[in-house]
Amino acid sequence: MLRVIVRRLLQLVVTLIALSALIFIWLRNLPGGPVEALLGERATPERRALLTKALGYDQPILVQYGKFMQRVVTGDFGNSIRSGDPVTEVISRAFPATIELALAAMIIAVGLGVPLGYLAARWRGRFLDNLTIAGTLLGISIPIFFLGYLLKDVFTQNIHWFPPSGRLTTGLDNTNVTGFFVLDGLLTREFDASADALWHLILPAITLATIPLAVIVRITRASVLDVLNEDYVRTAEAKGLRHRTIRGRHILRNALLPVVTTIGLQTGALLSGAVLTEKVYNWGGIGTLITDSITGGRDYPVLQAIILLAALIFVVVNLLVDLSYAFIDPRVRVR
């Protein structure tokens, strides 16, 4: 197991170094570039030359990349072109909102997806199975932005069950401890603020959970159907084992490997920023920061850091998924 962890960590480092090089070269060769973004309308040949030299962009690309990696190792991604604040501070203000939304969405997706997929497989061809297949097809087909606006129109404009946007009601006091508003309210005993933050979270989380939910249901159903036809399941039934034992030890556990892989990939994607959902609900997370950085003045340092962060999240999540295989399936530990 230790050998697997070390090998995965080495692969993580190599992947991040290769990706950082690609991102660095790509952003340096975009039209306009950081110099034009910084100068804006004041750009003249003289100003461009001075700023290019000041930023070190006149040096060979390998030298620039080496200095960039030295700063990255220390956590220095430079300053935002739009606000002038350190990039790490800009991202740290937005990232908790995305984590909170992504985790809520995955709790909904996993909490409903695995049981529904299992039941659909057990009752294959019956009403619940047909309803589940139709529902997952609908969930995958509906564009997120359309679903978001539809839910907002129904539940915020017509029946007024949920707030339309934002993470907290304007004017409601909430002490920012961790950046996770629901948790902050509990830690500081501001329970009204925590409940209000949770109420704001429900509708965006449901919107964001639709596609992961549909995918998890389908993968779980297909995996359980494969396991149900295995000899060891029929043997367990013939031996008269309790249904709970067969379901938990022989069916679900052996069907979990592809499901865990899917959950890991979906979690990594959501943590990297749910752009459309955050825009619809004015959520203020990484997805919103990405669009603002692109449309609000080509904020290259922020974009560079976000892309690296997204890559790190994917690699770490995949590492955790690989390690979880050993706990789910003992045969993986043997291999």
CATH number at residue 217: 1.10.3720.10
In the predicted structure, residue 24 carries a pLDDT above the cut 60 = yes
56, 72, 88 - which closes a domain: 72
Q: Same domain, yes or no, for 145 and 67?
A: no
In whole angstroms, what is the distance from residue 50 CA to residue 124 CA? 70
Q: How confident is the model at residue 116 (pLDDT cuts 50, 70, 90)?
A: very high
Provide, rounded to the nearest whole percent, the portion of the chain with pLDDT above 90. 8
In the predicted structure, residue 236 carries a pLDDT above the cut 70 = yes
Q: Same domain, yes or no, for 58 and 167?
A: no
What are the Cα distances from residue 159, in Å, to 95, 135, 152, 163? 31, 24, 10, 11
Q: How confident is the model at residue 162 (pLDDT cuts 50, 70, 90)?
A: confident
Q: Contact, 227 vs 122, CB < 8 A?
A: no
Angle in degrees, CA 261, 334, 259, rounded to 5: 15
What are the Cα distances from residue 69, in Å, to 13, 72, 110, 118, 317? 13, 5, 38, 47, 23
Q: Contact, 183 vs 97, CB < 8 A?
A: no
Query: Residue 10 domain-assigned?
Result: no
Question: Is 63 or 332 the better-scoring residue by pLDDT?
Answer: 63
110: exposed, middle or buried (Cβ count in 10 Å: 0-12, 13-18, 19+):
buried
Query: Residue 85 domain-assigned?
Result: no
Query: Residue 261 domain-assigned?
Result: yes
Q: What are phi and psi of 86, to 5 degrees?
A: -55, 140
DSSP code of 86?
B
Q: Same domain, yes or no, for 297 and 233?
A: yes
In the predicted structure, residue 175 carries a pLDDT above the cut 90 = no
Q: Same domain, yes or no, for 50 and 115?
A: no
Q: Same domain, yes or no, for 57 and 152?
A: no
Give the 3-state secondary structure of residue 56. Answer: coil
Q: How confident is the model at residue 244 (pLDDT cuts 50, 70, 90)?
A: confident
Terminal Cα-to-Cα distance of the chain (whole angstroms):
10
In the predicted structure, residue 262 carries a pLDDT above the cut 80 = yes
Query: Residue 84 domain-assigned?
Result: no
Q: Same domain, yes or no, for 156 and 53?
A: no
Q: Same domain, yes or no, for 66 and 131?
A: no
What are the Cα distances from residue 291, in Å, to 22, 46, 302? 21, 31, 11
Residue-number span of the structural domain to which 266 is assigned: 96-334
User: pLDDT tens digits for 179-192?
Assistant: 788 888 888 887 78
173: exposed, middle or buried (Cβ count in 10 Å: 0-12, 13-18, 19+):
exposed
pTM value? 0.82
Q: Same domain, yes or no, for 135 and 234?
A: yes
Q: Same domain, yes or no, for 161 and 226?
A: yes
Give residue 314's pLDDT: 82
**Which amino acid type is present at position 264?**
G
Q: How many domains does one find in the chain?
A: 2
Query: Residue 281 domain-assigned?
Result: yes
Q: How confident is the model at residue 38 (pLDDT cuts 50, 70, 90)?
A: low
Token pair, residue 198, equals: 């949770």
Q: Provide mean pLDDT across the span 13-39.
A: 76
Give residue 3's pLDDT: 74
Q: How confident is the model at residue 1 (pLDDT cuts 50, 70, 90)?
A: low
Residue closest to 264 by CA, chosen among 256, 254, 253: 256
In the predicted structure, residue 8 carries a pLDDT above the cut 90 = no
Sequence-separated (6 or more) residues with CB below 8 Å from residue 251: 118, 224, 227, 228, 233
In whole angstroms, what is the distance from residue 126 CA to residue 258 CA? 24
Q: Contact, 101 vs 267, CB < 8 A?
A: no
Q: Same domain, yes or no, for 164 and 266?
A: yes
Q: Same domain, yes or no, for 47 and 133?
A: no
Query: Residue 2 domain-assigned?
Result: no
Give residue 277's pLDDT: 86
Q: Same domain, yes or no, for 170 and 246?
A: yes
Query: Residue 91 domain-assigned?
Result: no
In the predicted structure, residue 37 carries a pLDDT above the cut 70 = no
DSSP code of 190?
-
Query: Residue 9 domain-assigned?
Result: no
